[in-house]
Amino acid sequence: MSILVTGAAGYIGSALARALAPRGPVIATDQAAPPFPGAVTGNLAYPPFARSLVTPEIETVFHLASLVSGGAEQNFELGTKVNLDATRDLLEACRLAGHRPKFVFASSIAVYGANLEEVTDDTPPSPRLSYGAQKLVCEILIDDYTRRGYVDGRSLRLPTVMVRPGAANTAVSGWASAIIREPLAGRDYVCPVRPQTRMACISGTKVVDAFLHAAALPGERLGPRRTVLLEGIPVSAQGMWDAVRPRAQGRVRFEPDPRLQEIMDAVPKATHSARARALGFPASASIEEIVDDYEKEASLARHG
């Protein structure tokens, strides 16, 4: 049996595909060529391509491909095609395959409303961005396809995942990775938010572990509600810079962008989930641990 990973050229997707490789054949797909033997390149917004990916040999689907927050807000039509329509096409392919594969979905805390100090398992979703609305609809679809026996679904609501290597994507939270990545690489960085700006954070290492854990959990432990909120620790922009400053060659200065600052002031500052803890999902302990995880990942990438 094989494992399908969408978004496998991305930060989390590529790390997840590498972690899954010892467990069986992995079919890695993305619009950009994923760095894996036998990878499949294609556009999930094209329904025939999305539906062609789920064959009778696919045992588990890890669906991470998306057009993230800023991009989905700027281009509503493309965001809907990539974030919502493509997910439904994959779910339909699973239904038609007829063997109830596991379906593990990357959702987001963008499903929550604005101006929340923290979110918990009891916080009602009320998205204020198209990206969050699209993710919430997908969660509901996955619950329903699971109820009907077409998939064995599970969705993870992710806090800000850091530290993203390479060039920034269109996520409005991209600065949180850059404020660590750039000084460590010896480059100065102009941070576009105030030093006291806080957000809920988790390391990429912990998120990959969470996806593996989600796939391994028996469905009966999740019950009919298949969405789990991952825990994200509250970290300020100043705290990020303080954590990296002793080992950085580059410097950081703060020049807030009013438009971005307004968005960041409204995002949740922390996420707490008794359900995630009870189910055994990992969480980051501190910003220092997140930086350590990033440096370990970067070292492994440099040395193969």
Whether 145 is catalytic is no
Please tell me the distance from the alpha carbon of residue 23 to that of residue 59, in angstroms, as a whole number: 12
Point out the catalytic residue in the list 11, 112, 131, 150.
131
Can you give 244-303 as a three-state secondary structure string? Answer: HHHHCCCCEEECCCHHHHHHHHHCCCCECCHHHHHCCCCCCCCHHHHHHHHHHHHHHHHC
Q: What is the helix, strand, coil percentage profile of the chain, to 5?
A: 45, 20, 35
Round the CA-based radius of gyration of the chain to a whole number and report it.
19
Helices (H), 148-273: 175-184, 204-216, 219-222, 237-244, 258-266
Q: 3-class SS at 83?
A: helix
* Tally of residues, the chain: 304
Residues marked as catalytic? 131
